Structure 1
Amino acid sequence: MTFTLHDYQIDIVNKARKEIAKGNKGVLIQSPPGSGKSVIIAEIIKNATQRKNDVLFLVHRKELAEQIEGTLRFHGADMNYVQILTVIKAANRLSVIKRPRIIVTDESHHSKAVTYKKIYDYFTDSIHLGFTATPWRMSGEGFTDQYDSAIFGHSVDWLINNKKLAPFKYLSVKLINDKKLKKSSTDYSNKSIDDAFEKGIYGDVVENYIKHANGQRAILYAHKVEASQEFADEFKSKGIKAVHADADTPKREREKIMQDFRDGTIQILCNVDLISEGFDVPDCTCVIMARPTQSLVLYMQQSMRSMRYKPDKLATIIDHVGNYARFGLPNQEHDWERYFKGGWKKKRGQIIDDDAPKLKDCENCFAIFDSKENGRTCPHCGYEQPLSESELEHIQAELQVIEPFQIDYTLINYANKDKSELETLEDHYLFAKAKNMKESWIKFAYMPAKSWSWPQFHSELKPLKQKYNY
């Protein structure tokens, strides 16, 4: 069986091979949702099994194990050398697991949880490959304690321009209370954005689907199970075939729902977080977000679910909760290297994520756990989840097309630097701009500039001003 990878996917495979050849025992690989991480993983595992290397594949949800096995078999991996286990099962069976040459962790942003670390600490001689679209943690903690290096794939814009992801139209409500917006050094402050958006669902969900995406297959994300069920009922009351599914939906029933959605018998698939990370769901052209989140991980996984590429496809993303104001549009550039290294701080004023009454995402380690059994304390990392609100107010609003806007991460990076890290004139210039300091500070802070005349100083700064346009 053969399968041809795209050039950009082959490039990632080759880069991973080179990092391992350098002696790096841990390599994190980032590539956006829908860019074909499963194909890249399958190629790497196929190559490993051809060399008779044993592979341990870790997943965070049992529903994903069977799906991943099918993908690996389809791409020609020798399953005699592959073990696919949930992280909890693997952590409880360490003494009987065949010692792997390679440990592959899917959705590796989860891997800071103690259960993952228990496995990595046990198999210290294994090569560790982690895959994620979003090497990001709400705490600001990085991943360098687990990975020696990182490989970053192409941007969302590059993938769209090269017909690897579908272009999109993004509909949401404009910031409704501009008076509450306050500027930080480079952008609206996170807290003021949250203040400007009253927490709620803006616009009529069903009517906006009819207006902007009527007839399209859509996946709706709600903030809790009861809300998801109510949305499904509202769609059905308007003659639109909709169904709700959650983690408690029996496997056979869920498979039938997916097949009906694939066949077009069902138009709207309502859920909470079931159809998110790695979950194999039929293609759709529309996503409806009725769930506010402060997690970049959830935002990208959910907003980009409709952007899997097909010729002439235009994805429609309907954001009823203003998530774009916190993260930008799906093609917003993110400083993944900075997130990988860690050290950035969680901002104040975050919205608390509501979730299903039983199944919860830990806001600290992103592990999934049963809140009915564990309450608000995550059994994986011990983090106590904030109290969540039970309802989201429905607020009348007119949705509009949201145009792309960009955040200048150059200044954000320098705003987080310490003066001791500054070396060049360019470093000092960007640091001063990030901190809203006068340019005269640079002349006395940058050692070589102390001996310059003021005309020479301004002459040296001129090309930097032209370069950055600050």
Structure 2
Amino acid sequence: MKFQLRDYQQNASNAAISHYKLKNGRNYLMVLPTGAGKSLIIADIAARLNEPLLVFQPNKEILEQNFAKLQTYGIFDAGCYSASVKRKDINRITFATIGSVYNHMEDFKHFRYILIDECHLVNPTEGMYADFFAAAERRIIGLTATPYRLCSTMNGSMLKFLTRTRPRVFSDVIYYCQVSELLARGFLTKLKYYDLTRIELVNVRRNSTGADFDEASLSKEFERVDLYGYLISMVRRLLAPKSGIPRRGILVFTRFVKEAEMLTNEIPDSAVVSGTTPKKERERILSDFKSGKIKVVANCGVLTTGFDYPELDTIVLCRPTMSLALYYQMVGRVIRPYPGKEGWVVDLCGNIKTFGKVEDLRIEQPEKGKWMIKTNGKQLTNVIL
């Protein structure tokens, strides 16, 4: 079955094909909101480009999702090259992870066209991607919903738009669409925001980098307001909404594992997922969550990208962050469309006050080359945090 692309998806694919044909040696960026259907766009680009194409993904989950979409096009000259999926197939179209390719770069010299999903994770200064780019002449296009990365400056930390870092991988934006546009057209789920913040962020110090909150200071503030007890009572309320209509899963983001464990000790049919959760156990928990057997998943440090569960309609933010990318990715888990769904964002830690609603985030270029992210007139990138 070949999917019918929406107009903005087709426009994004057209932009990539056109710019791959240019011979100016520049790399480009496409910005597409979470839930916009990047995997379909990648599949269409791969299907139309009559050249070897190497598609990088940051992890197994996203690689498998993107490759599955490509297969729906009936394209058979494609393979996966990644130890995480236990496959090492090189074909005209090859979906890969950089770690696996890095150890065998000689085998990939013939790939001149490169597509990178979640390209904000690429370090422009050093690392495996930088070495791979330097090994041969490439034409690179990156896709992301969060086109910025945290950088240190003489005056403090700054979120820099990817085209404005020095050094940089991407020279310019060739396509973007706004979250607000997709929401207005019904392509994303409309969200209700509940700012139920109890902590006082003025009481919390920044860490040594100045780019996030100090853990000890944050923990002390959590204890001052009994955030753990507050979280438990809030989740109980969400499990029994006044409407009487049960939510389709509650995903809780915590800063510390102990918060997640305290919650699940008190809430039946709940589970914890963290960076130390064994792979098979994590897969079992998420499968039970999607089937409804598990009602609440409390997660610490995971499930911000690559977790595809469109039915999910409730997230609880029980952690403050200074990272716009992290905030966007957390809210992104609940914005994917599903029939009859109303998404709820329940914030206990001041994130909505800091960043606003995700539909108010806008990519703008007030001057040539000066790309930035703003919310309600407030500039969020390329300013000192």
User: Which structure has more strand as a fraction of its residues?
Assistant: 2
Choose which of 262, 267, 270 in structure 2 pairs with 1:230. Answer: 262
1:317 Cα deviation from its structure 2 partner: 0.6
Name the CA shift for 1:247/1:57 in 2 (closer, same or farther; >3 Å).
farther
Partner of 1:10: 10
| SS at structure 2 position matched to 1:331 | helix
Deviation string for 1:283-342 (max 9, x for gaps)?
300011112211111111111211111233210011111111221111122345589967
Deviation string for 1:25-67 (max 9, x for gaps)?
412110111111111112111222xx2x222222223444334
User: Which structure has more helix as a fraction of its residues?
Assistant: 1
Report the TM-score, using the length of structure 1 for normalisation. Answer: 0.63
Matched AA of 2:8: Y
Partner of 1:106: 117
Contact 1:307 1:315 in 2 (8 A): yes
Contact 2:251 2:315 in 1 (8 A): yes
1:413 Cα deviation from its structure 2 partner: 9.3
Report the TM-score, using the length of structure 2 for normalisation. Answer: 0.76
Question: Where in structure 2 are the equivalents of 1:277-356 lying within 5 Å?
Answer: 277-281=305-309, 283-335=311-363, 337=365
Query: Is 1:208 aligned to residue 240 of structure 2?
Result: no
Partner of 1:370: none
Name the CA shift for 1:226/1:57 in 2 (closer, same or farther; >3 Å).
farther
1:202 Cα deviation from its structure 2 partner: 8.3
Partner of 1:387: none
Higher alpha-carbon Rg: 1
Partner of 1:220: 252
Name the CA shift for 1:222/1:413 in 2 (closer, same or farther; >3 Å).
closer
Partner of 1:153: 176
Query: 2-side partners of 1:225 and 1:213: how far apart?
Result: 22
Contact 1:213 1:316 in 2 (8 A): no
Query: Is 1:54 aligned to residue 67 of structure 2?
Result: no
Question: Where in structure 2 are the equivalents of 1:384-423 lying within 5 Å?
Answer: 407-409=376-378
Query: 2-side partners of 1:143 and 1:174: how far apart?
Result: 32
Name the CA shift for 1:211/1:149 in 2 (closer, same or farther; >3 Å).
same
Q: CA RMSD in A?
A: 3.5
Query: 1-side partners of 2:361 and 2:289: how far apart?
Result: 32
Matched AA of 1:130: G
Contact 2:318 2:348 in 1 (8 A): yes
Deviation string for 1:159-196 (max 9, x for gaps)?
1110101111111236987999xxxxxxxxx99xxx9x
Query: 1-side partners of 2:110 and 2:264: how far apart?
Result: 47
Query: Is 1:143 aligned to residue 143 of structure 2?
Result: no
Contact 1:258 1:281 in 2 (8 A): no
Matched AA of 2:306: G
| SS at structure 2 position matched to 1:279 | coil
Partner of 2:37: 36
Contact 1:262 1:282 in 2 (8 A): no
Query: 2-side partners of 1:272 and 1:317: how far apart?
Result: 17
Matched AA of 1:39: L
Deviation string for 1:253-289 (max 9, x for gaps)?
3332222222111111221232112333463000111
Deviation string for 1:395-417 (max 9, x for gaps)?
xxxxxxxxxx953148x89999x
| SS at structure 1 position matched to 2:63 | helix
Query: 1-side partners of 2:69 and 2:367: how far apart?
Result: 29
Query: 1-side partners of 2:304 and 2:30: how far apart?
Result: 19
| SS at structure 2 position matched to 1:334 | strand
Contact 1:332 1:406 in 2 (8 A): yes
Query: 2-side partners of 1:295 and 1:413: how far apart?
Result: 11
Matched AA of 2:376: I
Query: 2-side partners of 1:339 and 1:256: how far apart?
Result: 49
Matched AA of 1:8: Y
Query: 1-side partners of 2:326 and 2:368: how far apart?
Result: 17
Choose which of 124, 145, 149 in structure 2 pairs with 1:133. Answer: 145
1:152 Cα deviation from its structure 2 partner: 4.1
Contiguous gaps of at least 5 residues in structure 2: 79-90, 152-158, 204-210, 241-245
1:151 Cα deviation from its structure 2 partner: 3.1
Query: 1-side partners of 2:261 and 2:129: how far apart?
Result: 34
Matched AA of 2:141: L
Query: 2-side partners of 1:73 and 1:340: how far apart?
Result: 39
